[in-house]
Structure 1
Amino acid sequence: MPLLASTIFSASIVVAQVNTDNELDLDPADWSEKDAGIPVTDPLTLEKCGSCHAPDEKGNLSRISWIRATPEGWSQAIKRMIKLNGLSITPEEARSVVKYLGTWHGLAPEEAKPVMYFAERRILDETIIPNETIHQGCASCHAFAQPMSSRRSHREWGLLQNMHKALYSQAEVQIDHAAEGEAASADSSKKPATRGQVALAWLTKEAGLHSKAWADWRPRIRTPKLAGKWLISGKLRGQGRFVGEMTIAPAGDDFTTTTTLRSLETGKTMTRSGKGLVYSGYSWRGTSAGGTQPATPADMTGTLRETMWFAPDQSSAEGRWYWGEYHEFGLDVKMTRVTGGPVLAAVSPLGVKTGTKAMGLHIYGASLPADLSAADLDFGGGVTVRKVAVLSPSEAVATIDVSAEAIVGLHDVALNGVVLPKALPVYGSVDYMKVTPETALAHLGGIKYGKGYEQFEATAWSAGPDGKTGTDDDFPIMTVDADWAMKEFPTVTYDNDVKYVGQLDKVGFFTPNVEGPNPERRFSRNNYGEVWIVATAKTLKDKEGKPMSAQAYLVTTVPAYKRWDQPEVSQ
């Protein structure tokens, strides 16, 4: 499971939300279920789950009918039932049960999208944690997206807390600890609220079993009709942008795929084939392979896992195709269905400076009209299209002028009524650089355990219309060709981490060192450590005429010796 840092955007706690009824003096197992359950109708699920989860007269199965979860959540539950409760089920049966539960006891698209980063295996700062108490009680050991990938009744949230106390030694201390903030200074005559009580009240209100989103979505669930051609645009850190097409064909209840990708940096084309299935009408899980052995760990010609969120109208999709021992490599993907009319995917090059004249801007898409004219294109105020040359139905070149007074920002690219939003950065100056990711994690390995790599990338940024760096109108312009180096991040007087953590190559790719004690280090420490990753631009200069630079923080740590059982759903 990826390690995700946490950003808390609100430290306030509304103590009044904490339930002070006598119910809290009882074990959640003794609480009465007040929510209406969701009946289980699938015969196989009834057969495999009904012997332990007692049915009632309404068709509900105990526990199961009061939970909704993502496919990964249901898969995790089934694996737990096998390991702890002796469930006998074949992989094919488990796959069928997960598909049923992930669809009819799943999440609505609006509920799933904010936590898709969890299924996509992204490492990022979480911004969905409501306060410090819930951060400490629910997100100290795992991402907050873990509980937010499910919806439960009040009783089921209480039983989930019970399960944590039973299975994980530290959970009882975490859950029963006094709440932080306002809750910690509650009326001294009353028993202070605990983190568990605050979390239970919040989750019951904000992530209850029933919601308007689910009530609206449930009658709309239908068999996904995804067959046909889809236009792809994607970006892979360190390797640039890609465009291409995916052809999806039905294969029983699932799908097969054939994908062609073209690098906008090198022009190289690759072909992939794969398969996928869809849960709840919108949630794609798939695999694909390029058919050749990867030459390097970052080479995406091998097998990729595909996690995508399809729009409810099944006209577009977005997600991440990832690989690596720690899922550290990933192609960020957007797809649009090709239906016969023009579709836009990307423009190149990025970063058009104000005052530019007669620049050739490549437009990538599908079904571009052969008679495309300058009048058909619109790049926003201050950008004039002189002429257009159509190279193929998937590529055209527009010759543009950019006024010195053009508004800086991310301009739309429009072909009559078809719009590619915020696709063309127009800038007056490069105001600063960033290194992505700004905070990163790598894992030692190579002897007994796999290595966890990291790819860094330098990006030029504009301060935006207000001219102030670090404000909301700042925007990225383009990637920057840079020289790369590591610098010590001092934590102790004898720090020498740069010497031991690993190697950074000329394109910002970090390869960690091997795991295990190192007799050359003081105290025979492992090769872990903290360093700065520094990028220095080869051509960009700051206001003082010096090369622009930026840095990121990298922690190189030991391997994940223990993996919690939360793999992807089997395909």
Structure 2
Amino acid sequence: MKAQTTQHTRRRLRIAGAVALALGMAGSLPAAAAQDPGRDVIDKKCASCHLEDGKLTRIPEMRKSPEGWDMTVVRMGIWHKVELTAEERRAVVKYLADRQGLAPSEAAPFRFLTERRPNMQDTPPDDEMAQMCGRCHSYGRVALQRRDEGEWRKLMHTHLGQFPSAEYSALGRDRNWWEIARDKMPGRLAAMYPKNTDAWRDWSRAKHRPADGRWIVAGERPGWGAYTGTMTVTAKGKDRYEVGYELHFGPGNTVRGKGESLVYTGYEWRGTAQLGNEHTQSIFALSEDGGRMSGRWFMRKADEIGATFEAVRADKAAKNAVAAVTPHMLRAGETATVTVAGAGLDARLDLGAGVEVVEWLGKSAEQLKVRVKVAADAAPGVRKLAVGGRASDKTVAVYRQIDSVRVEPAFGIARLGGGSGTNPPMTAQFDAVAFLNGADGKPGTEDDVRLGSVPAKWSTEPFDERAKHDEDLKFAGHMEPHGQFLPSFAGPNPNRRGLNNVGNLSVVATVQDGERTLDAKGQLMVTVQRWNTPPLR
């Protein structure tokens, strides 16, 4: 028994040593990180399958986002019965995302996917990529990983082995699908998304600034409006933080909360928090210099409901860093109160031609509040804000009247819930956005000038004659006053001849602009439940 134990121990040590060598050769593991808990899990629970000829295979040969690595770890449990505790799973994902993640510039084009922005559709670069890679899942799942040609080819084999019907489904059986997947796609993907890049080399070698400190934050939640506030971040270990929030949506509407976060890859913030009485998640990205943060927070069990988020770090180095200016719209010939939120703000404010500061209502390093007068003959359009002589990327828009209104999103999706199923409904949130006509003088064209969100009265109606005949308006759900559509229950409805409560509706926003009334329409599809909700869809 003692001899067997010794032999087993020696084998374990050989595996651990080989794993260390393999990861070290891949440029993934500095010697000082040998006792990383994620690394320990890989040694104990991954190496038995991934070790070949003394070298670790597959794992070191790719880079992914935190969500991508998490999906890989979960897949190993489903396919190969690898059992990990929740703590072990987090440790492995953290370890791999830090050492084999994506540089900020690589992840940026598909942040809408990681941030779970609703009603967004990624656009593959061409029809072939859409048909070969984007017909079963989002194209972003492909673009948020990096491999060399050989590893991309192995992924093709994995797809065919695990999902053999892909070759015979729509857009597969009308072509030599397997030959294209095996012989053509790996080279294309390796050229577009290679494992080794200058961006990743530079980012992985850089020293990243911790996220702790005081932040001035701002954003907009559809249906609620714009907010400003503060976020206080306290370090509780390597890349782990406790967070306190105070968000001001308007007079008398302050939301406070606490939470925690973990930062992956030096910039990928993933957090949870209790804001007021709501349980939320946050997915932000720190800027490369660590002075700004942006992203989105949303309801933990309803990610279609959430808010945009921007933040600037309020430390001694901050100089006229602007987080937000409210309101976004100023009418010519009127006065208004304008508030600028940011860090290190000087009491010098320029809102552009035709907008005059007539009274200071408050001055501090984190907030400037002024009363402005807009000239009656001020030219309509967008002006950039300047604070302390420094131009900002924030803008205000001057207008005489709203030329047109659009419903955003123009095409929304809601999903039935409850009933005979177990999934909760997925709501849809709409916003009314005002525009000025562009140089062509026509509404609804590409040169229109966006003014911002405006209050609206909301209603729904049948989208077409089929929807009217099927009484979709009666069965699909109802619209709340703040633009949120609440879908009906799932499952056959005996009052609808046993049909489900799906529907095709027009969403109507009615906006009052002085004595004028403007209407806008969007389309809403109320469809069936979603049963598969991975982090990257």
Q: TM-score, normalised by structure 1?
A: 0.81
Match of 2:292 in 1: 316
**Corresponding position: 1:401 with 2:379:** no
Task: Decide which of 216, 219, 243 is 1:231's aligned counterpart.
Answer: 216
Does 2:197 correspond to 1:211?
yes
2:264 corresponds to which residue? 279
Contact kept, 8 Å, 2:122 with 2:139, in 1: the verdict is no
What RMSD, in angstroms, separates the aligned Cα atoms of the two structures? Answer: 2.7
Displacement over 6 Å in runs of 4+: none
Sort the Cα spacing of 1:127 and 1:411 in 2 relative to 1 into closer, same or farther, 3 A. farther
Q: Which has the higher contact order (CA 8 A, sep 6+)?
A: 1
- After superposition, the Cα gap between the structure-2 partners of 1:531 and 1:358, relative to the gap in structure 1 and judged at 3 Å, is closer
Are 1:362 and 2:348 an aligned pair?
no
Change in Cα spacing, 1:270 to 1:63, as seen in structure 2 (3 Å) is same
Report Cα offsets for 1:328-348 as digits up to 9, x if no partner: 111110111111344433222
Distance 1:511 1:540 in 2: 30
The residue number in structure 1 matching 2:358 is: 386
Instruction: Give the direction of change, closer, same or farther, for the CA distance of 1:519–1:324 in structure 2 (3 Å limit).
Output: farther
1:411–1:421 CA contact under 8 A, matched in 2: no
Q: How many angstroms does 1:238 deviate by?
A: 0.7
1:506 aligns with 2:492: no
Q: Secondary structure at the match of 2:272?
A: strand
Match of 2:324? Answer: 346
How far has the Cα of 1:198 moved from its partner? 4.5
Aligned-pair CA distance for 1:510: 1.1
CA distance in 2, matches of 1:399, 1:459: 25
Shift in Å at residue 176 of structure 1?
5.1
Q: Which runs of 5+ in 2 are unaligned?
A: 1-23
% identical aligned pairs: 30
Paired with 2:225 and 2:164, the residues of 1 have a C-alpha distance of 45
1:333 aligned counterpart, secondary structure: strand
- The match for 1:144 is 139
- Partners of 2:443 and 2:53 in 1: how far apart? 61
CA distance in 2, matches of 1:360, 1:164: 58
Contact kept in structure 2, 1:325 and 1:452, CA below 8 Å? no
User: Could you tell me how far apart the structure 1 residues matched to 2:190 and 2:510 are?
Assistant: 50
Distance 1:108 1:365, change over 3 A: closer
Q: Deviation per CA, 1:292-328, whole angstroms, max 9, x where unpaired?
A: 5xxxxxxxx3111110111111010110111154411
Q: Deviations over 1:185-211 (max 9, x none)?
A: xxxxxx997366553332111011112
What residue number does 1:531 align with?
A: 505
- Structure 1 residues 232 and 56: CA distance shift in structure 2, 3 A: farther
The one of 68, 73, 79 equivalent to 1:78 is 73
Alpha-carbon distance between aligned partners in 1 of 2:225 and 2:74, rounded to the nearest angstrom: 38
Q: Distance in 2 between matches of 1:320 and 1:62?
A: 36
Provide the residue aligned with 1:14 in structure 2.
Answer: none
Code of the residue aligned with 2:496 in structure 1: it is: R
Amino acid at match of 2:132: G
Q: Does 1:478 align with 2:452?
A: yes
Relative to 1, partners in 2 of residues 1:227 and 1:480: Cα closer, same or farther, differing over 3 Å?
closer
What's the TM-score, normalizing by structure 2? 0.86
1:251 to 209, 225, 236: 236
Which of residues 450, 454, 472 in structure 1 aligns to 2:428?
454
Cα 1:318–1:203 shift into 2, 3 Å: same
Matches within 5 A, 1:12-161: 38-41=26-29, 43-44=39-40, 45-54=42-51, 61-161=56-156
Q: Give CA-to-partner distance per residue, 1:89-118, whole Å, 9 cap, x none.
A: 332222121111101111111001111111
In structure 2, how many angstroms separate the alpha carbons of the residues matched to 1:246 and 1:444?
Answer: 36
1:289 equivalent to 2:274? Answer yes
Aligned in 2, Cα 1:201/1:88: closer, same or farther, shift over 3 Å?
same
Matched with 1:306 is: 282
Matched residue, 1:33? none
Q: How many residues align?
A: 498
Aligned residue identity for 1:114:
P
Q: Any idea what SS the aligned residue of 1:517 has?
A: coil
Amino acid at match of 1:435: V
1:403-482 mapped onto 2 (5 Å cutoff): 403-404=375-376, 406-447=378-419, 448-482=422-456
Query: Aligned equivalents of 1:120 and 1:362: distance in 2?
Result: 28
Distance 1:405 1:161, change over 3 A: farther
Following the alignment from structure 1 to structure 2, what is the Cα–Cα distance between the partners of residues 67 and 77? 11
Correspondence for 2:528 among 555, 558, 565: 558
